[in-house]
């Protein structure tokens, strides 16, 4: 659903950019409460994984394809504020280096694909979590429903922006019907991908799934036919206890195994599996062509990028070119994303060397 330049006029694009910038600013502050020493690198991985899976267009119907938007997946795994930042990082990388999604439409895309999907999906996921049993199966089903609903919600949000600032004169009712109709089908694919990914993480490390934290009762896992409490998340270990201080807090479980597995999966998906993705236009492209929304599409500002259209320039072999571009994209996204999230994490703790709490004049006065 990457909106190109020319679909939405300048005033509405600027307004959407302001909304997106505000959402990113709020998310930077909110993410400080969500990120810890394990989630910061995992958030960069989530962004890279979403980048990879977005390269895998899957067939929908009538010559149309769809791809993951990722807002639901990011919000459930690493939190809504961090989720908005994950999608913003992905869209920025795609727009600047891969000529995917217009540069003047970046604010529109962050608002529609990031903010709307995260708010709708996370709100619905938490609502369902309160009424359904506290089991892995129920959490996985909640992820499916939340992700499914978030996609037509994003389609409706685009239609609203188009109704206000569309550059072509198309009846808004026709656009809404077409956009929501095809994106309900795409939402099914989004729900399946999100549920499978969330369910896989819940099966091995439920303590890493932000969406199931803070429950009044522990998440239940089925082991050998019986329901047992999932392992509780642990926090920073703090100072090393002295000989007379008694037992110290439980060490934090490392997330390196999950990180390594996820990175390998993202590289394989982007570098190899993406070659077999559907070549049909995605939902927005199909509706735009059928309804005439694309009459004033402008050439992308980064059309001359050596990675434009997810291929490396001057490499004739399509399989190698696309696979190498995917690997570069995943690698760059995980580096940029992890750097951003570690920076946000350090600003929360105040001391990048120890991860200890920030101290100020009042703390020293009271010492």
Percent of the chain with pLDDT over 90: 79
Query: Given pLDDT bands bounded at 50, 70 and 90, which one contains residue 321?
Result: very high
Which whole number is the average pLDDT over 119-137?
96
Tokens at 236, concatenated: 């920073």
Beta-ladder partners of 282: 65
Q: How far is CA 352 from CA 51, 129, 238, 340, 346, in A?
A: 28, 35, 14, 14, 5
Quick one: pLDDT at residue 264? 97
Query: Average pLDDT, stretch 153-173?
Result: 96
Q: Is the pLDDT of residue 352 over 60?
A: no
Reported as a pLDDT band with limits 50, 70 and 90, residue 61 is confident
Cross-strand bridge partners of residue 226? 223
Domain boundaries, the chain: 10-214+255-295+327-354
Q: How far apart are CA 106 and CA 2, in angstroms?
A: 9
- Torsion angles phi and psi, residue 239, rounded to 5: -65, 150
* pLDDT at res. 249: 46
How far is it, in rounded angstroms, from Cα 168 to Cα 141?
Answer: 40
Give the per-residue pLDDT at 221: 63
pLDDT category at 365 given cuts 50, 70, 90 is very low
Domain 10-214+255-295+327-354: CATH architecture, name and number where available: Orthogonal Bundle (1.10)
Give the whole-angstrom CA distance, residue 242 versus residue 240: 7
The β-bridge relationship of strands 58-61 and 64-66 is antiparallel
Asked if residue 70 has pLDDT above 90, the reply is yes
Res 220: pLDDT: 60
**CA atoms 85, 91, 97, 102: torsion sign:** negative
Of the candidate ranges 67-81, 90-104, 243-257, 289-303, the one whose mean pLDDT is the lowest: 243-257
Mean pLDDT score of the chain, rounded to an integer?
88
176 falls in which pLDDT band (50, 70, 90)?
very high
Contact between residue 253 and residue 233 where contact means Cβ atoms under 8 Å apart: no
Residues contacting residue 9 through CB under 8 Å, at least 6 positions apart? 165, 166, 167
């Amino acid at each position: 659903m990457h909106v190109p330049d020319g679909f939405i006029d300048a005033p509405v694009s600027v307004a959407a950019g302001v909304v997106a910038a505000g959402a990113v600013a709020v998310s930077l502050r909110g993410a400080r409460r969500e990120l810890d020493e394990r989630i910061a690198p995992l958030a960069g991985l989530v962004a890279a994984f979403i980048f990879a899976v977005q390269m895998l267009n899957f067939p929908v119907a009538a010559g149309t394809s769809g791809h993951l938007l990722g807002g639901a997946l990011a919000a459930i795994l690493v939190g809504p504020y961090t989720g908005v930042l994950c999608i913003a990082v992905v869209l920025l990388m795609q727009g600047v280096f891969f000529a995917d999604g217009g540069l003047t439409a970046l604010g529109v895309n962050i608002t529609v694909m990031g903010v709307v999907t995260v708010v709708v999906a996370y709100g619905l996921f938490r609502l369902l979590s309160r009424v359904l049993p506290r089991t892995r199966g129920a959490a996985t089903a909640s992820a499916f429903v939340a992700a499914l609903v978030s996609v037509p919600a994003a389609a409706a949000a685009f239609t609203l922006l188009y109704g206000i600032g569309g550059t072509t004169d198309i009846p808004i009712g026709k656009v809404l019907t077409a956009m929501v109709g095809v994106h309900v089908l795409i939402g099914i694919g989004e729900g399946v991908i999100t549920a499978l990914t969330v369910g896989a993480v819940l099966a091995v490390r439920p303590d890493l799934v932000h969406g199931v934290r803070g429950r009044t009762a522990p998440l239940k896992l089925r082991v050998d036919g019986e329901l047992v409490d999932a392992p509780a998340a642990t926090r920073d270990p703090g100072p090393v206890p002295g000989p007379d201080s008694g037992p110290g807090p439980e060490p934090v479980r490392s997330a390196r195994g999950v990180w390594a597995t996820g990175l390998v999966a993202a590289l394989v998906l982007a570098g190899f599996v993406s070659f077999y993705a559907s070549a049909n236009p995605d939902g927005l492209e199909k509706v735009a062509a059928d309804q005439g929304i694309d009459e004033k599409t402008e050439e992308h500002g980064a059309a001359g990028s050596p990675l434009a259209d997810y291929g490396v320039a001057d490499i004739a072999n399509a399989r190698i070119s696309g696979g190498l571009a995917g690997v570069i994209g995943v690698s760059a996204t995980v580096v940029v994303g992890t750097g951003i999230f570690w920076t946000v994490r350090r600003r929360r703790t105040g001391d990048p060397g120890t991860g200890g709490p920030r101290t100020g004049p009042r703390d020293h006065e009271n010492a």
